Homo-oligomer: A and B are copies of this chain.
Amino acid sequence: MMEVRNKYVSIRNNIEGAPQESDFELNTEMVSLSVEPGSKDVIVKNLYVSIDPYQLNRMKSQSSSQNAINFAVAITPGESIDAYGVGKVLASGRDDIKKDDLVAGLLSWGEYSVLKEGSLLNKLDPMGFPLPHHVGIFGFSGLSAYGGFFEICKPQKGEKVFVSAASGSVGNLVGQYAKLFGCYVVGCAGSQQKVNILKEQLGFDDAFNYKEESDLNSALKRCFPEGIDIYFDNVGGRMLEAAVANMNTHGRVAVCGVISEYTNATVRAAPNMMDVVYKRIQIQGFLAADFMKVYADFYSRTLEYLKAGKIKVLEDISHGVENIPSAFVGLYRGNNVGKTIVQIADE
């Protein structure tokens, strides 16, 4: 029975606060490259894996008050970390997936993944696109952007849309979908370089560097003299408060993530609830998995936009399993532009 040495990333300890590279370690284990008779296991060589901010919430101690959330499956120190990705099948006990197939699904931050029966794993037709597109724009980042914007925000043409973390994996796509739909779109990001990308490459109507603004409320008043109809929130905290203060009647806030609150449980958005009442604002949290029912629509529309060159794909790809920790830590330092992906191996 042939075996290979699998290098994989794990956490050394539960993480509270901002993650550091020293919170992670590289482990090894032996993985069999054959599947037992009768088993439905699939053994995958990982090619590209997704690096997402929400993983931090799974790395926290389960006893920490902020993580008293029973749905985020905890990541255990020393153990493998599952993550969305694209790979190539080395061995399969499933009839619908064969050796050498490309697949997309819940792989891991390592060189190899063993997927048990029932795991999220689908055969992948790259449709002529680079494989990283199937990690990002065709993966949960794209689905979050599409579902969050169309299903939660229920936009009307001409509405004013604000997107935070707008150069991030989800935000940049929300802004592009919103522009293509016919909205006025302003994004915020954490550097002048990112602001330039939003305005010059992605077609945002306006953008600002929140780190240069002494008063977020004023910044939004300046960018939205007629108020905000839709706020796509990726950050929470003070930005959410300022957005609610600048919101129009019947405004909608789609809460995709609150990265400013992930590293510090004492940071909490306190939007003015009087605004929420009088302006009948809706604040709605969501997860990408809620939108599987619109996946076909999402996929066909996104494919069409991409083929027509109407969407620009922003990817931030680094290389090698040993660089996963720095890619992940970089998310919290604002290092990435677009979707953060680590390439594990050549195709």
Contacts and interface: CB of A to CB of B under 8 A. Distances in A.
Contact of A273 (B72, B236, B272, B286): B236
A270 B236 CA distance: 11
A57 interface: yes
A98 interface: no
Interface string A257-289: 110011000001111111111111111111100
Interface in A268-326: 268-287, 290
A25 B262 CA distance: 51
A282 B280 contact: no
A130 B226 CA distance: 46
B283 A287 contact: no
Given A71-B249, A249-B71, A269 B273 contact: yes
A277 B270 contact: no
A257 B277 contact: yes
Contacts of A72: 278
Contact of A279 (B69, B249, B257): B69
Interface residues of A, number: 37
B240 A273 contact: yes
A258 B270 CA distance: 13
A259 B38 CA distance: 63
B270 A255 contact: no
A338 to B, nearest CB: 21
A262 B273 CA distance: 10
A277 B235 CA distance: 11
Contacts of A287: 277-278, 280
A68 B247 CA distance: 12
14 contacts: A69-B278, A69-B279, A255-B277, A258-B273, A261-B272, A261-B274, A270-B270, A273-B285, A276-B284, A277-B287, A278-B285, A280-B286, A281-B284, A281-B285
Interface of A: 57, 66, 68-69, 71-72, 236, 240, 245, 249, 255-258, 261-262, 268-287, 290
